[in-house]
A and B are shown apart, each in its own frame.
Chain A
Amino acid sequence: MFTLVCMLLLFCAMAFSQTRAITGTIRDAKGEPVPFATVKIKGGKSGVSADANGKFSINAKQGDVLVVSATDITQKEITVGSGNTVEVEVIRSQASLSEVVVTASGIRRTDKALGYAISKVDPDALLQKSEPDMLKGLQGKVAGVDIRSSQGTPGAATRIQIRGNASFQSTQPLIVVDGVPYSNTQLTTSSQTSGGTAYGSGIANLDPNDIATMNVLKGVAASSLYGSRAAAGVILITTKSGSASRNKKGIGVNVRSSVSWETVANLPQYQNDYGTGANFGYSNSNGSWGPSFASLDSIPAWPDYKAAYPDLFPSANIKYRAYPNNVKDLFKTGMLYENSVGITGGDDKSSVALTLSNLTQSGYIQNSDYGRNNVGIGAQTKLKDWITVGGNFSYVRSKQKGGYFGENQVDGASSLFARTLFLGRNWDLNLPYQDRNGVPLTPNGGGQFDNPRWAALNNVATTFEERTIAGARTEIRVNNWIRINYNFGANTSAINRREITEINSRAAEGLGRLVVDNFRQQELESVLLLTLNPKLNDDFDLRVIFGNEINQRTTTRQYATGSQFIVPGLYTLDNTKQQTFNPSGDTYSRRRLLGYYTDITLGYKNYAFLNVSGRVDKSSTLPVKNNTYFYPQASLSLVFTDALNIKTNWLDYGKVRASWARVGNDANPNSIEDVFNVGTNFLGQATASRSGTTFDPNLTPEFTNEIEVGTNLSFWKKRINLDLSVYRKISTDLIAPVSLPESAGYTQLYTNFGEISNKGIEIDLTVRPIQTKSFNWDIHGAFTKNKNIVVKLKDGIERFATGGVLTSISPYFEAGLPYGYLRGTVSVRDANGNLLINPATGGMIVSDDQAMIGDPNPDYKLGITNSFSYKGFFLSALFDMTKGGDMYSVTVSSELGRGVTKDTRDRETSWVIPGVYGDPSTKQPILLGGKTVPNQTRITTNDLYFTSSATFATFAINTATEWNVYDATVYRLREVTLGYEIPKSLFGKLPINGATISLSGRNLWFIAPNFPKYSNFDPEVNSFGATNIQGIELSAAPTTRRYGVNLNVTF
């Protein structure tokens, strides 16, 4: 640290001589700088080039006319006056193809020179769309990016993945905000199989209102300068406060305000003809397989309710009737309020930006909410002509509150959605949810589940997160071809989480529990860049960059459980009878990384570009002998329309590009030496045991290699623009734990092994069918296809689970199979694929062996946005679809198995499962005269979906998990916005520059055709949030639908 401070001081202490010249900045109508434009004196021969920030300096005298030109702007002339500075405002031509793109390490390049794919995201596309989560706002808009939400409750994590999974461990892209990596960790406190809440991920704290630019670096070539963590792609964000670019007017104020209403997107269509019971006989059970409501008049009053509130049940019996809205009544309308104020100001030397925002959201479930307050401020000033300094600071505090989910069947679990979506059709959940002592009541009693109303109020996890970002930067122009940039930043996040399970819940032994998780993560990042841009000759353009990165990450965590509340209603560890530290409950880790790199770009006649780079990393997490590693990158870009001088009516612009790159990655900290774990005391004696993980002392970095080719084409005066990329990414020597047999004495070996491949294609296509003065129609399509295969593991490791979910289903890695495929129990079939049927029951036979039962990776994704504008009105609609990808759904299997949806209404019939008779003990077909015997055993509809045990397996509950895996193809109208830009003239003398009012709708319609028709199931849920476990839904909260009204005013 000391050295860094010294370096900063050194920069400040140095002084340079000034040059006498006219300096200026070129900006477009929005005030955004226009980089790399050519500035010439009219009639003169030589000119200068503006820099990446649109700044230029030229020797000129008063009266000279400066000609400013660039490929994407309309040429502009300006006469030099008496001052030394000029401000040039230019008009951008449409669909500019030579925009500047911020690439790795903040290096700006023209789009032309890019030999790889980078998607630039317009921050406005994320705002005021009734979606507070920036990542969710990106869904369907960027090719090559797969974004999945998790639960439908406020603040739940979003998983983003760029070009597939390239590691057995974390596969989330690196997010860099204002030059500092932004941890997007999902802190999982309790297992999400058996009762964790809908944990959020870090990036949800970023205020979309504060985003100035956002670029998605998809390939390894694009991101390799980021080193270790870039194999999964990079999302590069600059905030308004972080860039503090000046509004052209000097002072600009922007106020945005939105309010949205949210509801459950879709509930199943329930049958309301049959109540609880089995095979048309009444019983007070969970399944609605009992008698029809027409055939039975009354049933015994709910025993627990009657005992608690005898006055409510004067008779021994109650009416046997349907409660058609009993599920719907459990939900309310949630609200989402977003307000923000952005202020920018400054003069020609200094600028300042301030963003304040507040988000308040309440979900459709009682007591689930999310709130966020952000403050961001940044400023920069040009101290002298040759030195600019800037700094930024932002603070956010968020709060997330919600209940627990997961598989209620796991012992000790209490899931808020244990029965919520498949309530007995004759259950009235509007009855009191607890007795006079606060014990939750349910119609069928027996503590099978906590009443959802009681659980929502009492079993609640609250997470506070505070994040502070501080950054300082300086740019020194040594001369007109040497520049030094230095950026230092700190990104610190502190999470404080408290998970309360109330006394009398079925979980925590009914005695109450508090889990406290305090987690702090700090990341320091220092980047020093030296840029040399020597003038070679008219044809060649050379840029050489030397860089140094120093990164440090420190994590501390205290994580403890208190059991058995002493005084009810008080939720502190002090107020519990027993306190234990969770495994690894008090930990500290630190890692450091040093990176040195160079990046050389050679341009020829502004149409051919060669870019090579190389980086050496030294990581603290690898054994010393292997901790230094090098990786290179080379890319080529050729604007062939310029090179071959093609000028046709139909082809405006064409570029081909190709790149090859490699990136190395290090290990997790503390992955070098074997340890013991001190455990909790037993009978008052201290205990310890050897850790189950052993570490490979010869750990080496893992590497990802990627080849990418692509093209950018523009047709018919930019009416059609195509951006296409094809890539092949191979990751090898992956660092991950290999499972060992129990008899080895260790559960896992942390080592290098295996290979993962990702192959894919990404297409961004923009079509503008109608372009008139008053009416415009744009269509933008984003297509993503990625095939993610585990190529090989290690000798002796046939497969391993990514994380145990349930013994009957888990995601696995196995050579030759898709990444994280679902492996689970299957029914036995004969050699011809016929199901074996147990002759005694007519049900199927569950195999002892498990097999692949699904692939959670989608075949492709497609998003199509149609935008229309007519005078001040605009309308845009995003339709997207995900084809393929499988999902194991407990919600759907329960809806079928409990007989609650219309899918199982027509039940007065019997069924024969197609198959041949088999012997349940040998699992072989039963042969009669050497031939198999077709099944003839009829079973009831009830038995077709619900049987009591796996020995009589059928199709929904108590069967092989293969039958509860569905193809998750889904079509969706994701986002619709209708708005009107109020003309400035309407405001008269009011100091209002512009105002827009809009209506937005989100997730307005969807259909997942391969799920049971009346389940109305939305496969865009996932029980494991942003983790590697995908395609598994264990009674998750359904997605939401939102309608919003938005106002945007600039002053």
Chain B
Amino acid sequence: MTTYKLNIFKVILPSVLLLGSCKKFLDVNKNINDPIAVPVAILLPDAEKNLANSLAIGGGLSQDLAVYTHQMSTREAPDQYGVTGGDFNVQNAWSTFYDGALVSLDEIIKAATPAGNFKYAGIAKILKAYGCSQFVDVFGDIPFTEANKFKDGVQFAKFDASKDIYPALIAMINEGLADISNKAVNPKVPKEDDVIYGGDTTKWKKAANTIKLKLYTQVRKVQNVQADVTALLATPANLINTTAESFLLPYGPQGATDDRNPGFGDYFATQRANHISPWFYGILKGYNPNIFTSIADPRVPYYFYNQMKATTATREGNQTEYRDGAFVSIYFGSVGPDRDRNQQGTISVMGMYPVGGRYDQGDGLNVNATSGTGAAPYRFITYADRLYLEAELINVGLAPGDAKTKLQAAIKESFRQVDYVITTYVKPSQTVPSLIGTGLDTAYTRKVLTTYDAASADKKLEIIMTEKWISSYGSAVDQYTDYRRTTYPVLFDPRNAAMAPGGFVQPPINGDPVNPNPPPQKAVPVKQSLAFPLSLPWSTSELEKNQAAPAQKNPQTYKVFWQQP
């Protein structure tokens, strides 16, 4: 028995111990599900998409800002100018940019530069500069020099002053331009993976220069930009110069993958949050007594889709607040009794041009996921935008030329842009007439220019900025910036006695043809308890986790550096 006992100790226990010391046995922790490095070509489309997502309606900055610029109205936080740092869209836009777009762009820059893939590095720098500029414009001070530096030991990125960031952005764009033009052989060059320009570096150069033109224009009141602007305008061909050169992110349809514009989400939302602002609608219809009065804008059926027919009766219990025939919406700042009624199936929604929804041919359908392709692009800067920038610069004497001619070209380009987006990207199954060539466009332009001719210099600027505002529908970030810089277009103010006498605003008297019986439509009480916000509050999620972050701002008083003191 003794022998066997010895065997046990000699054989079994050592064998177990041997097993235990075997390193291979424990070497099973390698992640075999995910790569530890990836080529830049698959980071680029992710970066471009995330940049657009962080700005677009439907989870990006434009979602709240389109209410602030009175193109949309809502029952949610942006109504009453009440967006807080805890707002979903603010937090989502912030994280989509910082944790999404910026990270991928930095990874591209980091990997592409030593590998000699300068075109990738250059594109990434231009995109990064553009993205950061948009966030500066909306938030003011933001993490910049220390952003995405965790691996360099920065857990808490400081917020750089907005006035310090702008020069760095110009420098970054110039670096990007230099990289793109670098004559060295690039082992890898972007092609279809660059979903914005398909790797066309000429277009990238034009976009980069136009971004610079826009940045200079935005700071014109706090900085002498004459020389910079003049230099850029000296070679117009180096700027975005045709419709097809517009700087935009194409979204796609719901196909093998879901590539739709996030703003199209309202078509299948279980609770539609986006109403069309009656202020915006009224200006387009020519209802506004102060601007474009009685000038009907032919873009209306491309811009909005009415789920009702003009003759459909409103359901009792679902009375509408604002109805103009088929058009149904609610007012900004409304405290009316019908504001919160369920209008899921009756409100007018964003149309084909902004989000790839449905063109309004008066069929009054309840929209759903199949009502459109959702393939409208998010427009960063269009050729039309460039023309409006020029018109503004001429108007304020920073550029030579005739502002009216520029405005005319800009309006024409705005119409062409609608046709271009629909035929090139949205590709609807509906038959959609083109705007250009119908005569409607020229008639409209003529009327607008007639009022322009009669206007004072300041009113002329208002007309330019209002046309730009109409043209850029769907991309609200620059609209918000333009309004804060120029105070145009004039926005709805519930406290303005002319716009809302006695705190009531009157929808079109006979706007509801069916109900109540007989008309008129009731006036709607409106209130505004907060002043117009001069910037958006920072994401609470960032502030709570970043010790280097400043205390939350008062958005009503906090200015971005380019706003006049």
- Decide if A979 is an interface residue (CB 8 Å cutoff): no
- Which B residue's beta carbon lies closest to that of A511? B369
Residue contacts A-B, CB under 8 angstroms, 6 given = A446-B342, A506-B270, A678-B35, A742-B95, A745-B102, A948-B75
Q: How far, in angstroms, from A676 to B99 measured CA to CA in the complex?
A: 13
Q: Which residues of B have CB within 8 Å of A680?
A: 257-258
- Decide if B202 is an interface residue (CB 8 Å cutoff): no
- A284-B318, A744-B154 as given contacts; A448 in contact with B33, CB under 8 Å: no
- A285-B341, A507-B270, A674-B36 as given contacts; A682 in contact with B45, CB under 8 Å: yes
- How far apart are B20's CB and chain A's nearest CB, in angstroms? 5
- How far apart are B16's CB and chain A's nearest CB, in angstroms? 5
Partner of B31, one of A285, A624, A627, A673: A673
Partner of A676, one of B18, B38, B192, B343: B38
Q: Which residues of A have CB within 8 Å of B339?
A: 948
**Most chain A CB neighbours (cut-off 10 Å) among B271, B368, B531:** B271
Q: Is the CB of B38 within 8 A of A840?
A: no
Q: Is the CB of A283 within 8 A of B552?
A: no
Q: Is the CB of B104 within 8 A of A689?
A: yes
Q: Which residues of B have CB within 8 Å of A840?
A: 527, 529
- Which A residue's beta carbon lies closest to that of B7? A14
- How far apart are A534's CB and chain B's nearest CB, in angstroms? 13
Partner of A15, one of B4, B29, B82, B317: B4
Q: How far, in angstroms, from A17 to B409 measured CA to CA in the complex?
A: 107
Q: How far, in angstroms, from A677 to B37 measured CA to CA in the complex?
A: 10
How many of chain B's residues touch chain A, expressed as a range?
35 or more
Going nearest first, the 6 A-B pairs with the smallest beta carbon separation are: A745-B148, A283-B317, A284-B317, A743-B143, A741-B546, A675-B34
Q: Which residues of A have CB within 8 Å of B454?
A: none
Q: How far, in angstroms, from A276 to B318 measured CA to CA in the complex?
A: 12
- How far apart are B161's CB and chain A's nearest CB, in angstroms? 15
Mask of B49-86 contacts with A, CB within 8 angstroms, 1/0 = 11000000000000000000000000101011010111
Q: Which residues of A have CB within 8 Å of B79?
A: 949
- How far apart are B315's CB and chain A's nearest CB, in angstroms? 6
Besides the known contacts A594-B25, A747-B99, 12 further A-B residue pairs in the complex with CB atoms under 8 A apart? A278-B337, A284-B318, A448-B344, A548-B16, A620-B27, A673-B31, A673-B36, A678-B35, A744-B546, A745-B147, A796-B156, A798-B545
Q: Is the CB of A681 within 8 A of B28?
A: no
- How far apart are B392's CB and chain A's nearest CB, in angstroms? 32
Q: Is the CB of A670 within 8 A of B256?
A: no
Q: How far, in angstroms, from A300 to B515 measured CA to CA in the complex?
A: 14
Pick the interface stretch among A56-64, A185-193, A580-588, A635-643. Answer: A580-588
Pick the interface stretch among A2-10, A101-109, A1002-1010. Answer: A2-10
Q: How far, in angstroms, from A587 to B85 measured CA to CA in the complex?
A: 36
Q: How far, in angstroms, from A7 to B12 measured CA to CA in the complex?
A: 7
Which of A47-69 touch B at CB < 8 Å? none
- How far apart are B109's CB and chain A's nearest CB, in angstroms? 13
Q: Which residues of B have CB within 8 Å of A447?
A: 270, 344-345
Q: Which residues of A have CB within 8 Å of B95?
A: 742, 747
- Decide if A252 is an interface residue (CB 8 Å cutoff): no
Q: Is the CB of A746 within 8 A of B99?
A: yes
- Decide if A590 is an interface residue (CB 8 Å cutoff): yes
Which of A575-628 touch B at CB < 8 Å? 577-578, 580, 584, 586-592, 594, 596, 618-621, 624, 627
Q: Which residues of B have CB within 8 Å of A797?
A: 545
- Decide if A692 is an interface residue (CB 8 Å cutoff): yes
- Which A residue's beta carbon lies closest to that of B82? A951
- Which A residue's beta carbon lies closest to that of B143? A743
Q: Is the CB of A796 within 8 A of B33?
A: no
- A16-B4, A741-B549, A745-B106 as given contacts; A670 in contact with B31, CB under 8 Å: yes
Residues of A at the B interface (CB closer than 8 Å) are 3, 6-7, 10, 14-17, 276-278, 282-286, 299-300, 303, 408-409, 411-414, 444-448, 478-479, 482, 484, 506-507, 509-511, 528, 530, 546, 548, 550, 563-564, 577-578, 580, 584, 586-592, 594, 596, 618-621, 624, 627, 669-692, 694, 739-747, 749, 796-800, 807, 840, 848, 850, 920-921, 948-951
Q: Is the CB of B342 within 8 A of A285?
A: yes
Q: Which residues of A have CB within 8 Å of B269?
A: 411-412
Q: Is the CB of B31 within 8 A of A675?
A: yes
Q: How far, in angstroms, from A619 to B50 measured CA to CA in the complex?
A: 39
- A594-B20, A688-B38 as given contacts; A745 in contact with B270, CB under 8 Å: no
- How far apart are B524's CB and chain A's nearest CB, in angstroms? 14
Q: Is the CB of B252 within 8 A of A741?
A: no
Q: Which residues of A have CB within 8 Å of B156?
A: 741, 744, 796
- A511-B369, A921-B529 as given contacts; A550 in contact with B42, CB under 8 Å: no
Which of B119-162 touch A at CB < 8 Å? 143, 146-151, 154-157
Q: Which residues of A have CB within 8 Å of B80?
A: 951
- How far apart are B533's CB and chain A's nearest CB, in angstroms? 11
Q: How far, in angstroms, from A950 to B15 measured CA to CA in the complex?
A: 69
Q: Is the CB of A848 within 8 A of B86?
A: yes
- Decide if B98 is an interface residue (CB 8 Å cutoff): yes
Q: How far, in angstroms, from A673 to B5 measured CA to CA in the complex?
A: 46
Partner of A687, one of B30, B46, B146: B46
Q: Which residues of B have CB within 8 Å of A798?
A: 544-545
Partner of B149, one of A16, A530, A745: A745
Mask of B249-264 contacts with A, CB within 8 angstroms, 1/0 = 0111011111100000
Which of B263-310 touch A at CB < 8 Å? 265, 268-271
Q: Is the CB of B195 within 8 A of A685?
A: yes
Q: How far, in angstroms, from A677 to B271 measured CA to CA in the complex?
A: 32
Q: Which residues of B have CB within 8 Å of A590?
A: 28
- A482-B5, A688-B43 as given contacts; A743 in contact with B157, CB under 8 Å: yes
Q: Which residues of A have CB within 8 Å of B195?
A: 682-683, 685
Q: Which residues of B have CB within 8 Å of A589?
A: 33
Q: How far, in angstroms, from A799 to B154 measured CA to CA in the complex?
A: 19
- Decide if B340 is an interface residue (CB 8 Å cutoff): yes
- Which A residue's beta carbon lies closest to that of B18? A3
Q: Is the CB of A591 within 8 A of B29?
A: yes
**Most chain A CB neighbours (cut-off 10 Å) among B13, B155, B369:** B155
- A411-B270, A692-B99 as given contacts; A679 in contact with B46, CB under 8 Å: yes
- How far apart are A811's CB and chain B's nearest CB, in angstroms? 15
Q: Is the CB of B36 within 8 A of A682?
A: no
Q: Is the CB of A596 within 8 A of B20?
A: yes
- How far apart are B193's CB and chain A's nearest CB, in angstroms? 5
Partner of B103, one of A283, A679, A690: A690
- How far apart are B137's CB and chain A's nearest CB, in angstroms? 17
- Decide if B556 is an interface residue (CB 8 Å cutoff): yes
- A285-B317, A300-B315 as given contacts; A445 in contact with B345, CB under 8 Å: yes
Q: How far, in angstroms, from A564 to B260 measured CA to CA in the complex?
A: 15
- How far apart are A281's CB and chain B's nearest CB, in angstroms? 9
Q: Is the CB of B155 within 8 A of A740?
A: yes
Q: How far, in angstroms, from A627 to B28 measured CA to CA in the complex?
A: 13
- How far apart are A627's CB and chain B's nearest CB, in angstroms? 7
Q: Which residues of B have CB within 8 Å of A546?
A: 13
- Which B residue's beta carbon lies closest to that of A692? B99
